[in-house]
Chains A and B, each alone.
Chain A
């Protein structure tokens, strides 16, 4: 029978599978495997326990992933990037740098999640699993050298975050946020996919290296298709990084989602999306930069202004920070717009330092939100400096860093970005960026003054509120973030150097 079948089908061909350098994918695999293991182990562990098993396991897995990334980093630095899966994935400095940033984002978010889940009585392994899965997508996106792989990464990243946004099952706003994020996110993914299709139509490949080669060796007589694909891809990325005019979901979603999840959205998700944006635009479409630079220029200006101006009129701290994170996305776009090594480097530096600032900020927000995650009005921060001086100090550091004050990493982040813009002769963009800093400084100062100044009258009138409880894990996250923010502010050298090393070689010739 079988022989008959063989006779019918002919001798079976060996299917050619590409050889896979698995070692290059280890950081992704560790995270993915870890997520699966945690899901299984989580079923065996008690959902509620005094020991935060889920948290420690997550940290262990994340640390393992970083542990795998570090040797790769040195290998890539010394021997050039690794091309894996027929060049569909490219492990280079950019991928590893932002990969580590994303995993750090996971760790910080996980540390905040633990106390949050206990407070809200939502214990369970699922949030951690989702965080890691989402980060897997982010890592894939950061190292994707093929638009299809990038789309896969984007979807893995997004789907997990949609669920995370709706994590707080008893809170109506949480569900609303998840729904909004999901519908609009799905919409933007469709744009992205259409953009890929058009890029394929224009260049005959979805592989970024091939696209770049094609555009370098051919001149398109009619580049309408390519320009349309730029626009559509930019919509997709713009949505994920919350760049204006695709930002409108951000304040609502940030306000409704659980605060630790927001810290992840604002740090890791942005880092992953910017990784994709940089790979596609700055590198693959490097030669057409005169076509896309003006668009990014306009988007950056809008993002900077929307993020700063609209933040000023908010009274809800979570919404303020949401708008300010839009403003920060604008800053990274300024770096991208420069379309130079220096611009990419500055964007990487910005994303790395911003991760700590924003995770720390939302960490404070998580704690001050109290049970129910609802106390986010500016008034809830009144007199925080007297009741919780250390917490207020931590928030002060994060806010000042976001305003770009000396001795914090924020100054250098802004400095490098503006430097790159000035070098690319985008003087007006640099000016707009700095002015937007001034505008958003107003908002940071409002929060600072609420914490440090206005407690006099409110003090006697306010009913006795119980002391804030700051969980141990959240303390770790805050301390790490403060140390990183001030540390990179005092000694920016190592991180600057790393971001310099990370910029892939392909840009060197351009």
Chain B
């Protein structure tokens, strides 16, 4: 079993969704139930592989890549098929394989217009391949391919199944992200041609191998060159996160996307950006990362405050949650900007927590929309009366999102703020302490907008418009899809070490370059 997982585990987890997709292509469109079953079985199988991987993962060596496969791929440019899992990838992989089956289950009876479950579920499976692949790839080109694949299904999801402004939102989403990728590919190629040559089969060649590049860590590189190359990565990942001022695609995409799309977008896609910083940009260019850190920190805290203020101004529930994503990802980026193990551990925790909590919020928002056909906060009210279970869950998700201790959100935010008290050696102490204060104010604002949302939507009595309408509380599929998320939010809230224990070793390993630089 262990051997099989070692050789094939990650590859299977990555490509199994494509197999499911191929099977679905052979089934006629009219067989809707069969499509749902195939998609569910596939995603559950991937989940099972994920569980098996997590169970056999060696937790004493989280800093080492495990289950590594290293095969020839495109020999000519020496790009290899390298996949591997370490403590940084593991939580995100787990999050992905966990969320996708839940989304499929939620979809069971809630297909947005124009229906067509075959295409919709096929896109979700394609997304899963891209997401899982991005988190396990250890070769820059391989990573880039997966990173890009994710774009397309999401684009179609928004553009075909989205709301009224779907075309605008879809194109905006695609172009923004493609813009970042375009700069990133130049940086990837620059990294390739700047890196020292290695000996493969007697030939001296450059490499895209992230492991080797991290060991090289930009040694001997001119300062400006490093800063420019990092800039390309910064654009690619920063847009995906999204960081202020590149966040404007996010509210549109989220508002227009179907519920399932929003959930996947919030839960996993945004993490690709932050993951990219932690996995690629910082380990390979530690020196440049130090030069960039203050700028990243500033943008992060602007994002925190701006996102929060944006939330207070929103009249649409989904848009509000989207802006809260900007704020929360600001905390994650602040943790990353400190370049300390503490901060980055917090950032990874923040990614997972945000994925669960905001995913949950989007699920609920989608269900509210299903029942009331509007998300305008003014027109809603008294959810606790009409649909008590849903209202109660909304309350829980809001509490978790504002960082209540005991729930998962707390462990992403609080350590991130704390870590900026003492950033990595060489970074300006006063500046980061200012960030700390500003970010702390951000948490107060977060409490403000989330409680306000809860108060307006869940408390009080139903508005006249919907007072006499019978509103169905949660469906069976809702329970199946949401309960696991709630459980995870609680479990991680009570026992955060579940993740910190996994990430810590890997983070220290990946920050080796920064640590070596010293002051």
Interface residues of A (CB under 8 A from B): 400, 403, 405-407, 411, 415-416, 418-419, 422-423, 427, 430-431, 434-435, 437-438, 441-442, 445-446, 448-449, 452-454, 492-493, 496-497, 500
Interface residue B159 (Cβ < 8 Å from any Cβ of A): yes
Task: Please pick, from A405, A407, A422, A496, the residue contacting B190 in the complex, using a CB distance under 8 A.
Answer: A422
Residues of chain B in range 204-249 having any CB-CB distance to chain A below 8 Å: 228
Residue of B nearest to A444 (CB): B174
Contact with A along B152-183 (1 / 0, CB 8 A): 10011001100000110011001100110011
- In the complex, chain B residues whose CB is within 8 Å of the CB of A500: 76
Beta-carbon contact of A441 and B175 below 8 Å? yes
| A438:B160 contact, CB within 8 angstroms | no
Determine the residue in chain A with the shortest Cβ distance to B75. Answer: A493
Let me know if B74 and A496 touch, CB within 8 A.
yes
Q: Does B145 contact A (CB under 8 A)?
A: yes
- Asked if B182 and A405 make an inter-chain contact with CB atoms under 8 angstroms apart, the answer reads no
Q: Flag whether B189 is at the interface (Cβ < 8 A).
A: yes
Residues of B within 8 Å of A445, CB to CB, are 155, 170-171, 174-175
Listed A/B pairs (7) with beta-carbon separation below 8 Å: A419-B77, A419-B189, A422-B193, A430-B189, A442-B175, A449-B170, A493-B75
Q: Which of A446, A454, A493 touches B171 (beta carbons < 8 Å)?
A: A446
Residue on B nearest A430 in the bound complex, by CB: B186
Residues of A contacting B166 with CB < 8 Å? 453
CB pair A438–B185 under 8 Å, yes or no, is no
Interface assignment of B192: CB less than 8 Å from any CB of chain A: yes
Query: Across the interface, do B192 and A419 meet the contact criterion of CB distance under 8 Å?
Result: yes
Closest CB-CB distance, B191 to chain A, in whole Å? 10
CA of A434 to CA of B236, assembled, Å? 12
Indicate if the CB atoms of B74 and A452 lie closer than 8 Å: no
Residues of B within 8 A of A403 (CB): 178
> Within the assembled complex, what's the spacing in Å between the Cα atoms of A427 and B75?
24
Q: How far is the CA of A35 from the CA of B77 in the complex (A)?
A: 41
Task: Report B122 CB to chain A, min CB distance, Å.
Answer: 12
How distant is A197 from chain B, measured CB to nearest CB, in Å?
40
In the bound complex, do residue B171 and residue A431 qualify as a contact, i.e. CB atoms below 8 Å apart? no
State the CA gap A446–B155 with chains docked (Å). 12
Residue of A nearest to B130 (CB): A406
Q: Does B12 contact A (CB under 8 A)?
A: no
Cβ-closest chain B residue relative to A403: B178
Q: Which of chain B's residues have a CB closer than 8 A to the CB of A441?
A: 174-175, 178
Residues from chain B with a CB closer than 8 A to the CB of A418 are 185-186, 189
Complex alpha-carbon distance, A452 and B75, angstroms: 37
Q: How far is the CB of A338 from chain B (nearest CB, A)?
A: 12
How near does chain A come to B239, taking the closest CB pair, in angstroms? 11
A416 cross-chain contacts in B, Cβ below 8 A: 77
- The minimal Cβ–Cβ distance linking B19 to chain A, given in whole angstroms, is 15
Q: From residue 116 to 156 of chain B, which have CB atoms closer than 8 A to chain A?
A: 141, 144-146, 148-149, 151-152, 155-156
State in angstroms the CA–CA spacing of A431 and B236 once bound together.
Answer: 13
Whole-angstrom distance between the alpha carbons of A416 and B192 in the complex? 13
Measured in the bound complex, the distance between the Cα atoms of B232 and A435 in whole Å is 12
Q: In the docked arrangement, what's the CA distance between A422 and B183, Å? A: 12
Could you tell me if B148 and A406 are in contact, using CB atoms closer than 8 angstroms?
yes
| A411/B189 contact (C-beta < 8 A), A438-B178, A449-B171 known | no
**CB-CB < 8 A to A422: which residues of B?**
186, 189-190, 192-193
Q: What 13 additional pairs, Cβ within 8 angstroms, besides A406-B144, A434-B182, A435-B182?
A: A407-B145, A416-B77, A418-B189, A419-B192, A422-B186, A422-B190, A438-B178, A438-B179, A441-B174, A445-B155, A445-B175, A446-B171, A449-B170
In the assembly, what is the distance between CA of A493 and CA of B75, in Å?
A: 8
Contacts of B160 in A (CB 8 A): 452-453
CB of B399 to closest CB in A, whole Å: 38
Give Cα A489 to B443, complex, Å: 47
Total residues of chain B contacting the partner, CB 8 A: 33
Partner of A442, one of B156, B159, B171, B182: B171
CB–CB B190/A431 < 8 A: no
The residue on A at minimum CB distance from B77 is: A419
Choose from A423, A438, A454, A493 the contact partner of B182 (Cβ within 8 Å): A438
Contact at B171–A434, with CB atoms within 8 Å? no
In the complex, number of A-B residue pairs with CB atoms less than 8 Å apart:
83
Q: Are A437 and B152 in contact (CB under 8 A)?
A: no
Chain A residue with Cβ nearest B161: A453
Known: A419-B189, A437-B182. A452 touches B175 (CB 8 A): no
CB-based contact A449/B167 at 8 Å: yes
Whether A415 and B185, one on each chain, are in contact in the complex, defined by CB atoms closer than 8 angstroms, is: yes
B74 touches A493 (CB 8 A): yes
Quick one: closest B residue to A450, CB to CB? Answer: B167
Alpha-carbon distance A40/B193, docked complex (angstroms): 56
A308 to B166 alpha-carbon distance, docked (Å): 24
Q: Tell me, in angstroms, the Cα distance from A452 to B116 when the chains sit together.
A: 12
* CB–CB A493/B189 < 8 A: no
Determine the chain A residues whose CB is within 8 A of the CB of B189 once the complex forms: 415, 418-419, 422, 430
Q: Provide the residues of chain B in CB contact with A446, threshold 8 Å.
A: 171
**How far, in angstroms, from A442 to B177 measured CA to CA in the complex?**
12
Residues of chain B from 468 to 493 with CB closer than 8 A to chain A in the complex:
none
Residues on the A chain within 8 Å of B228, using CB = 427
Select from chain A the residue with minimum beta-carbon distance to B229: A427
Distance in angstroms from B259 CB to nearest chain A CB is 19
Q: How far is the CB of A163 from chain B (nearest CB, A)?
A: 40
Complex Cα distance A449/B175, Å? Answer: 14
Q: Which residue of A lies closest to B180 (CB)?
A: A438
Write out the residue numbers on chain A whose beta carbons fall within 8 Å of the beta carbon of B159: 448-449, 452-453
B144 surroundings in chain A (CB, below 8 A)? 406
Contact of A454 among B155, B167, B185, B193 (CB under 8 A): B167
Tell me how far the C-beta of A458 lies from the nearest C-beta in chain B, rounded to whole angstroms. 13
Q: Who on chain A is nearest to B168 by CB?
A: A449
**Contacts known (A435-B179, A441-B174); A453 close to B167, Cβ less than 8 A:** yes
Closest to A414 in B: B185
Closest to B141 in A: A415
Complex interface bits, B58-73 against A, C-beta within 8 A gives 1, otherwise 0: 0000000000000000
Q: Which of A411, A423, A442, A492 contacts B193 (CB 8 A)?
A: A423
Q: How far is the CB of B394 from chain A (nearest CB, A)?
A: 32
| A442: chain B residues within 8 A (beta carbon) | 171, 175
Check A405–B152 contact: CB distance below 8 A. yes
List chain B residues, Cβ under 8 A from A452.
156, 159-160
Chain B, Cβ-Cβ closest to A446: B171
Shortest distance from the beta carbon of B71 to any chain A beta carbon, whole Å: 13
Given known A400-B152, A441-B175, A453-B160, contact A411–B183 (CB-CB < 8 A): no
Contact A427 B148, beta carbon cutoff 8 Å: no
Contact partner of A493 (CB less than 8 A), chosen from B76, B146, B148, B178, is B76
Task: Assess A411 versus B171: contact at CB under 8 Å? Given A400-B152, A493-B76.
Answer: no
Query: Shortest 8 CB-CB distances between A and B: which pairs?
Result: A434-B182, A422-B189, A406-B145, A438-B179, A406-B148, A438-B178, A496-B76, A430-B186
Closest residue of chain B to A441 (Cβ to Cβ) is: B178
Q: A445-B155, A492-B74 are in contact. Are A411 and B167 (CB under 8 A)?
A: no
Which residues of A have CB within 8 Å of B185? 415, 418, 434
A427 touching B74 in the complex, CB below 8 Å, given contacts A406-B145, A442-B171: no
| Contact flags B308-329 to A (C-beta < 8 A → 1, else 0) | 0000000000000000000000
